[in-house]
Structures are given as structure tokens and as C-alpha cells.
């Protein structure tokens, strides 16, 4: 592909001996029209180059359609029967998928064109620079494991993997690369990034299945932010910290776990599902998302040396036949993940960066979730002075909450329908009370008792069922428990906080809402609202649950 | 006689379309010697689910065109309530003239000799942007379109992606 550009200037200079040039009309999909002069014996490729001079569509993104056919680069115009004054449709498409590097090189026009091209040709000399530039894009993109698995670019080259490993071990290289003009260029041009992503068939598949993810990936500001973070370790650490705090905070607020659960269900689960499918289709090495299945693979690649025992235990879960390990199940992974990420922030900062971007902070999210049902884990976390400190400082700044909430459309809509919830989340006073040691302790007790139940339930389910079935069953169990947890936890917190206001007054709006919904027993409604801290949805669930019994 | 009238008419349409193509599609002959078989590439209409796709279709004209309508069959995979699983397009203007025995379509909505390649393809493009789930050709797609739009959207974007990869 890269070699085909050599004879371009020959055509435009009419060096193609003897042939007369004719006018060909180009019609863009936008409706604009222009005319190109070209010899009919020239190739489609050179035709595209000429067109690129006259419009803003780079030649590798051009799709030319004539007489119901899409023109192929290596054919001549004559072979399609093109004649003078005929019109050709021009549509902007994605850049071709195979020569990713060549594409990027032409687009950036940066200093490393030669390097990337030679890399495409398979030479190993320049792999480090050219290759790592691309590799680094992906961890930054927030699909944590992607970069690590090395398969994202469809290359799966061993050198690539090495480069990435080196890269993770040495943040300086990373920074240097991100500071090169070419990389800077990339950052300023999210379009290219998007193309790079879209060039990967697996990636596309996943985006197809999950349009929400596509939005995130298509958002230029997200991309830029990630890249910026990848370049600047300070910023990255900051982002990591923010997210960590935000997560632990949400977890500890009423309905917070439910919110996280919902986020998990809307973002992570589809991704995992998609991964599963991709994994089944493509096999391990070809599947960039294999790493996301609990982030084990990624950890293996990166932290193999630092944490050998963990990784070895995770090997099974990382395989691309993941349904045998239901999503809520591998808590051990969560613990391990927390260990590796929390304790080695400097050696392994990169994979955490994406969490700062929220929407795609999956692995971290995963670890959070994983940590939740593990009572011991939670206890540990809660008692860790550093963490409570972190949470406290986080609590004092409602913007963080807003940030997190704003990032997930689902969450936002939830908040919009529950203004009280938003108020609660934004009230620093309330948040502070929430984090008071007593409340925390109380919450913890609830959690522990619940989680022990969860543990039992899970283990029985696991015994009873094997294979793919476990996933859904366990999910149901988890859901039930999280619902319970949401209600109970909220209740325990809300009552002491607001006991001085009569509940009729406090929940007046919610009460009327419930009335409208057809729940007429005011006393019952109030009880439900008190128990759910005024969350109408949860209250309805509770009320329905009561009548069902 | 009828044959030559048909081929003259089609040749004229072909000439016109080559010089002044209509936005949204490109049409030519499958085989330069047979003017009754057209190959059409429909560009997924912007602001629809099909945006970005390139859908190939074969248009087969009967010898007695324009008395009888052509048939249009997508060769690209198209997930749409009005496209059969084998790609055949089901729109009222391609149905033989006269009243619909099932009473779904009025005579005026059905084939009429004034239709050209252009008007047919434009109808198909408009069909892409607004499916008609009243008398679906692909029942599954119609159900999905009606009940779970998200699923429908995903399936369509997969088709779009596939159509892009074909190039």
C-alpha cells in the first residue's frame, strides 16, 4: 500500500505518454461538485491523489463509486469504462484497515513517516519508535488491557508486545514518545485516532454492538484527555487518584452501590459480552479484549514479575472462554488487582489512567466491584487510614461526585429523575456525615452481614451449576442482594441524619409521586421512603416486594 | 419491438445517469452487453441508521419494461423490515400494477411505467430512511424495529460495517 504512491506526480504532470486527459466530474456526498482532469489509463489510486488535492478528503479515505461499482485502487479508470464527462461519486469512508501505520503516517505528515512505513514493511529496526507511538494510544484510551495484549492493531507482532512491556516499565520513554511532534500531531487530530480505532475489526465489532462505547470513543475531548494523561504522568496520577476517590465515595453513599452496579451493567457488561464473542471468534492472541476479562492478562504482561502468585491464579479467568467464570464471581481477582494497582502506582501508572476518564475506566471499576462483596476486603479498605483520608478529602469536594455522575448518561438520567439524590450527592454536609467513622462502621456491618450471605449464595450456585449458566444465575443473585443492600444501607444512613424532620414533610414530593403511581397507603409509603432515604424507585420496589409476600 | 423499446429506454437512462448522477446512488450495468441487468450502489443516506454504508443491489428489468416493473435485490446484507432475507426489496412501486389483492396498497402506489431507475432507487433510499413495518418483508427486522430499536440499530450498524469492509 505504502509503495503505491510513487507515481502520483507522474500523472498530474501528464507524463503518462500519449493519453489525452479528460474531464471527470466528481460528486461529493455533501452535494458539492468539481471536475478533475485525468488520463483514463491512470490508476484509481492516482486518481484519488488528484482528487485529494481538490477536496478535504485524504486519498485513503476516499471511496469512489462509478456505475454502481466501487473503484479499486490498483485498477485503471479505463477498466471501469469511465468516459469523458462522466461523473463519479465520492464518499468519505474509513481508512483501509490493513496498513494502519501507513495511514497514520500520511495523515500526520510528521517526522516519523519513514519509520512507520518501514515498520509496516516488517523491519524491526524502527519498531520501537513507530510502534510504540501507536501502542501508547490505546492504554490511554481507557481500554486498559488493549494495549497490553498487543493485539489491538491486529498486528500481534512479538516485537510490539516487547515494546509495550518496555514502555510500561519505563514511563520516561512513554513521555518522550508522547512529546514527539508526530504524537503531538496525533493528539491534535482526534480524527486520526478514531480512524486507528475503527481500523481494527474487533474494535469495530465491539463498537457496533455497543453504540454507547462508540460515542465515548468518538468524543474528541475524551481522546485528547487520555492522550494528554498518557503523556503527563503527573496528570495521570492525579486522574487515577480522583477516580479512586470518587469510586470509593460513591460506594459508600446510599444507593451508591446500586449506581455503580448500573454503571457496571451498562458499560462493563456489554463490553465483556462483546469480548466474549470476539474471543470465541478470534482466539486468544487475536483478541485484544481478552485482557479486559478481569484485567488479568494485562496484569500478566505487566506485573508478571511483581506479582507472580496472583497472576498465576488468574490465568484461567483470562482465557477467552470466560463464561465459566461469571462476572460477579472472581473476587479474588479484585483483591489481586487492588494489590497490584494500588501498591505499585509508579511502576504501573499507565493502565490506570483511563479510569480518570470515567466512562471507560473498566478494569478499575471491576476491581471496585470485585472488592465490594468481599467483606474482608472491604473491611481492610475501610480501616485503611489512607483510604478513609482519601475519601474524606473527596467528600469535601462535591465536584468530584458531579464529575463522576456526569460521565455516565444512565446515572445522569437517574439523577435527573431523582432530584433528591442529586441534592444528597452534592451536599457536602451530608457527605461528611456519611463519612463519619460511626456511619462508616454501621455501613460496614450491614455490608458484612450481607456479603456473607452473598458469599453463601454464590457458592451454592456455583456448585449447582456449571458453565455458561452460572453467569446469569449469579448475576441475579447479586442483583437481589445489591438491591437489598441499597435499601438497607440507605435506610441506616438516612434515619439518623434526618430524624428531626417529620418524614411527611421531608418526603412530601416523593409521597405525592407514589400517590400518583397508585400507592395510596401513606403510612406504608412513608415507611418505604424512610427505608430508602427518599428514593422513589427503591421505595416502589420495596412496596411491591411487600405486597408480593 | 418491445424489447428494443425497453433497451433504448434503459440505455438512455444509463447515459443520463453516467453524466448527471443523482446524489445517493450510482448505477451501471453488471455486464456491458446486457442493458437489462443493472448494478446499483446505494450510499447509505445521511442521518439514518444506514449512514456510511455502501449497499450493492442488482436491478433486473423484464423484457417488457416499462410495462412491468424490475426486481431489485440487495447483494449486500441489509437488515431492514422491507428487505427479504435474500435481499429482495419489497416496496409498493415495484409491485405489478393493479389493486393489491391483500388490500394493503392503492393502485396509485404500485408500479407505473413512468418510473425510472432514478425514481426507483430514490424510493429505495427513502425506504431505508423510513421503514414501513405495516407489511414487512422481513418480519424479524420489523419486530425489532418496532420493539427493540437498539437491537435493530446494532444489527444495522453491523451491516453498514460489513458493507464498508467489502471494499
Residues in chain B within 8 Å Cβ distance of A197: none
| A70 to B39: CB separation less than 8 angstroms, yes or no | no
**Which residues have C-beta within 8 Å of that of residue A407, sequence separation ≥ 6?**
A357, A358, A359
The closest of A274, A310, A312, A309 to A293, measured between CA atoms, is A274
* Shortest distance, CA B115 to any CA of chain A (angstroms): 19
Q: Is B68 on the interface with A (CB under 8 A)?
A: no
Judge whether residue B75 has pLDDT over 50.
yes
Residue in A67, A97, A209 nearest the CB of B26: A67
B18 flagged as catalytic: no
Q: Does B38 touch chain A (CB under 8 A)?
A: yes
A/B interface, count of CB pairs below 8 Å: 78
Chain A residue numbers with beta carbons less than 8 Å from the beta carbon of B60 are none
Q: Give the gap in angstroms from C-alpha A65 to the nearest C-alpha of chain B.
A: 6
**Residues A147-205: pLDDT tens digits?**
333 333 333 344 444 554 555 555 555 566 556 665 666 556 656 666 666 666 666 76
Using alpha carbons, select from A249, A497, A540, A254 the residue that is nearest to residue A397: A249
Contact A89 B21 (CB under 8 A): yes
Give the per-residue pLDDT at A434: 59
Q: Domain segments of chain B: what residues?
A: 2-165
Residue A271 grid coordinates: 463490553
CA distance B105 to chain A (A): 30
Is the ipTM of this structure higher than 0.85? no
Closest partner residue to B21 (CB to CB) among A27, A93, A97 is: A27
Q: Return the residue in B11, B13, B18 with the most chain A beta carbons within 10 A, the one to mutate for interface testing.
A: B18
| Closest CA of chain B from A48, distance in Å | 15
Counting beta carbons within 10 angstroms of the beta carbon of residue A501, is it exposed (0 to 12), middle (13 to 18) or buried (19 or more)?
A: exposed
| Interface contact flag, A208 B20, Cβ < 8 Å | no
* SS3 at position B13: helix
Q: Give CA B3 to chain center in angstroms.
A: 23
Judged by CB atoms closer than 8 Å, whether chains meet at A70 and B161 is answered as no
Tell me the domains of chain A and their CATH numbers. Answer: 2-92 (3.10.20.90), 97-495 (no CATH), 500-549 (1.10.8.10)
pTM over 0.80: no
Q: What is the SS3 assignment for A418?
A: coil
Within 46-65 of B, beta carbons closer than 8 Å to A belong to 46, 52, 54, 56
Q: Best interface-test mutation with A: which of B26, B70, B74, B124 has the largest number of A CBs within 10 A?
A: B26
pLDDT, tens digit, 9 for 90 and up, residues A360-411? 333 443 344 444 444 455 555 555 555 556 555 555 555 555 565 555 555 5
Asked if residue B73 has pLDDT above 90, the reply is yes
pLDDT value of position B37: 92
pLDDT band, residue A73 (cuts 50/70/90) = confident
pLDDT class of B71 with cuts at 50, 70, 90: very high
* Nearest residue to A257 via CA among A492, A490, A510, A535: A490
pLDDT exceeds 90 at position A251: no
pLDDT score at A132 = 36
Q: Does A409 touch chain B (CB under 8 A)?
A: no
Given the residues B10, B90, B124, B125, the one annotated as active site? B90
Q: How far apart, in whole angstroms, are the C-alpha atoms of residue B16 and residue B9?
A: 11
Chain A contact set for B51 (CB, 8 A): none
Asked which of A503-507, B21-25, B150-154 is least confident by mean pLDDT, the reply is: A503-507
Dump pLDDT digits (tens) for A397-453: 555 555 655 555 555 665 566 666 666 655 656 656 655 656 666 666 665 665 555
Q: Is the pLDDT of residue A328 over 80?
A: no
pLDDT, residue A354, reads 36
Which residue in chain A is spatially nearest to B41 when comparing CA positions? Answer: A68
Strand order in the sheet with A62-66: A33-39, A21-28, A87-92, A62-66, A69-70
What pLDDT was estimated at residue A214?
Answer: 63
B15 inside 8 A of chain A by CB: no
Longest CA pairwise span in chain B (Å): 52
Of B39, B150, B166, the CB nearest to A68: B39
Summarised one tens digit per residue, pLDDT across range A228-247 is: 666 676 777 777 778 777 77
Q: Is the pLDDT of residue A79 over 90?
A: no
**B157 with A211: Cβ contact below 8 A:** yes
CA-based nearest residue to B129, from B66, B47, B63: B47
pLDDT at B60: 93
pLDDT of residue A50: 86
Which is more confidently placed, A162 or B154?
Answer: B154
Q: Average model confidence (pLDDT) for chain A?
A: 57
Looking at residue B70, its pLDDT comes to 92
Average pLDDT of B25-49?
87
Contact A69 B28 (CB under 8 A): yes
For A27-52, what is the mean pLDDT? 84
Q: Cβ contact (<8 Å) for A63 and B54?
A: yes
Question: In whole angstroms, what is the distance from residue A501 CA to residue A521 CA?
Answer: 20
| The three grid cell numbers given for residue A408, joined into one nine-digit string | 455516565
Residue A288 has pLDDT above 60, yes or no: no
> What mean pLDDT, rounded, does chain B reach?
85
Residue A374 has what pLDDT?
45
* CATH class of the structural domain B2-165: alpha beta
pLDDT per position as a tens digit, A204-223: 766 676 666 666 666 666 66
- Which among A83, A89, A204 has CB closest to B26? A89
pLDDT higher for A309 or A375? A375
Amino acid at each position: 500500500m505504502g509503495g503505491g504512491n510513487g507515481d502520483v506526480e507522474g500523472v498530474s504532470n501528464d507524463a503518462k505518454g500519449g493519453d489525452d486527459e479528460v474531464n471527470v466530474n466528481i460528486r461529493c456526498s455533501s452535494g458539492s461538485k468539481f471536475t478533475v482532469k485525468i488520463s483514463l489509463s491512470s490508476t484509481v489510486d492516482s486518481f484519488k491523489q488528484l482528487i485529494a488535492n481538490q477536496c478535504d478528503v485524504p486519498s485513503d479515505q476516499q471511496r469512489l463509486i462509478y456505475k454502481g461499482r466501487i473503484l479499486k485502487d490498483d485498477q485503471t479508470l479505463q477498466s471501469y469504462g469511465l468516459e469523458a464527462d462522466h461523473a463519479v461519486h465520492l464518499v468519505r469512508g474509513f481508512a483501509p484497515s490493513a496498513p494502519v501505520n501507513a495511514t497514520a503516517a500520511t495523515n500526520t505528515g510528521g517526522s516519523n513517516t519513514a519509520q512507520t512505513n518501514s515498520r509496516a514493511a516488517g523491519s524491526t529496526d524502527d519498531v520501537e519508535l513507530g510502534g510504540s507511538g501507536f501502542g501508547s494510544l490505546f492504554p490511554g484510551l481507557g481500554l486498559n488491557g488493549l494495549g497490553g495484549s498487543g493485539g489491538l492493531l491486529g498486528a500481534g507482532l512479538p516485537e510490539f508486545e516487547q515494546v509495550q512491556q518496555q514502555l510500561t516499565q519505563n514511563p520516561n520513554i512513554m513521555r518522550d514518545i508522547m512529546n514527539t511532534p508526530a504524537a503531538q500531531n496525533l493528539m491534535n487530530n482526534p480524527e486520526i485516532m478514531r480512524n486507528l480505532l475503527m481500523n481494527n475489526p474487533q474494535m469495530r465489532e465491539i463498537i457496533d454492538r455497543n453504540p454507547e462505547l462508540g460515542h465515548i470513543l468518538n468524543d474528541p475531548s475524551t481522546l485528547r484527555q487520555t492522550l494528554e494523561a498518557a503523556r503527563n504522568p503527573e496528570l495521570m496520577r492525579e486522574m487515577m487518584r480522583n477516580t479512586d476517590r470518587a469510586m470509593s465515595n460513591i460506594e459508600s453513599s446510599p444507593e451508591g452501590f446500586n449506581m455503580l452496579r448500573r454503571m457496571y451493567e451498562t458499560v462493563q457488561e456489554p463490553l465483556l459480552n462483546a469480548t466474549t464473542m470476539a474471543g470465541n471468534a478470534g482466539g486468544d492472541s487475536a483478541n485484544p479484549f481478552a485482557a479486559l476479562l478481569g484485567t488479568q492478562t494485562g496484569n500478566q504482561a505487566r506485573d508478571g514479575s511483581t506479582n507472580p502468585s496472583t497472576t498465576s491464579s488468574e490465568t484461567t479467568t483470562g482465557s477467552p472462554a470466560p463464561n465459566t467464570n461469571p462476572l460477579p464471581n472472581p473476587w479474588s481477582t479484585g483483591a489481586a488487582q487492588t494489590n497490584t494497582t494500588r501498591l505499585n502506582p509508579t511502576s504501573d501508572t499507565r493502565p490506570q489512567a483511563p479510569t480518570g476518564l470515567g466512562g471507560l475506566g473498566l478494569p478499575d471499576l471491576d476491581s471496585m466491584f470485585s472488592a465490594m462483596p468481599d467483606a474482608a476486603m472491604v473491611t481492610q479498605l475501610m480501616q485503611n487510614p489512607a483510604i478513609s483520608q482519601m475519601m474524606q478529602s473527596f467528600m469535601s469536594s462535591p465536584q468530584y461526585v458531579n464529575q463522576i455522575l456526569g460521565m455516565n448518561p444512565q446515572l445522569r438520567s437517574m439523577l435527573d429523575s431523582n432530584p433528591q439524590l442529586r441534592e444528597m450527592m452534592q451536599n457536602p454536609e451530608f457527605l461528611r456525615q456519611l463519612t463519619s467513622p460511626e456511619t462508616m462502621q454501621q455501613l460496614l456491618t450491614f455490608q458484612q452481614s450481607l456479603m456473607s450471605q452473598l458469599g453463601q449464595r454464590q457458592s451454592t450456585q456455583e456448585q449447582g451449576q456449571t458453565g455458561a449458566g452460572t453467569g446469569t444465575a449469579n448475576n441475579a443473585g447479586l442483583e437481589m442482594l445489591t438491591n437489598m443492600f441499597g435499601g438497607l444501607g440507605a435506610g441506616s444512613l438516612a434515619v439518623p441524619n434526618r430524624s428531626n424532620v417529620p418524614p411527611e414533610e421531608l418526603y412530601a414530593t416523593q409521597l405525592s409521586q407514589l400517590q400518583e403511581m397508585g400507592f395510596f397507603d401513606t403510612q406504608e409509603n412513608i415507611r418505604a421512603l424512610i427505608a430508602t432515604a427518599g428514593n422513589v424507585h427503591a421505595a416502589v420496589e420495596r412496596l411491591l416486594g411487600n405486597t408480593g409476600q | 419491438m418491445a424489447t428494443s423499446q425497453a433497451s433504448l429506454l434503459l440505455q438512455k437512462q444509463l447515459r443520463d445517469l453516467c453524466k448527471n448522477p443523482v446524489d445517493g446512488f450510482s448505477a451501471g450495468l453488471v455486464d456491458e452487453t446486457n442493458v437489462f441487468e443493472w448494478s446499483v450502489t446505494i450510499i447509505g443516506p445521511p442521518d439514518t441508521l444506514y449512514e456510511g454504508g455502501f449497499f450493492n443491489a442488482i436491478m433486473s428489468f423484464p423484457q417488457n419494461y416499462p410495462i412491468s416493473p424490475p426486481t431489485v435485490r440487495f447483494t449486500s446484507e441489509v437488515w431492514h423490515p422491507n428487505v427479504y432475507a435474500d435481499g429482495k426489496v419489497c416496496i409498493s412501486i415495484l409491485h405489478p400494477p393493479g389493486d393489491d389483492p391483500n388490500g394493503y396498497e392503492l393502485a396509485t402506489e404500485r408500479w407505473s411505467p413512468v418510473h425510472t431507475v432514478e425514481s426507483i432507487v430514490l424510493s429505495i433510499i427513502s425506504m431505508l430512511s423510513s421503514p414501513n413495518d405495516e407489511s414487512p418483508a422481513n418480519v424479524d427486522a420489523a419486530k425489532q424495529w418496532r420493539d427493540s430499536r437498539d437491537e435493530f440499530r446494532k444489527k444495522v450498524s453491523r451491516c453498514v460495517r460489513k458493507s464498508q469492509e467489502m471494499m
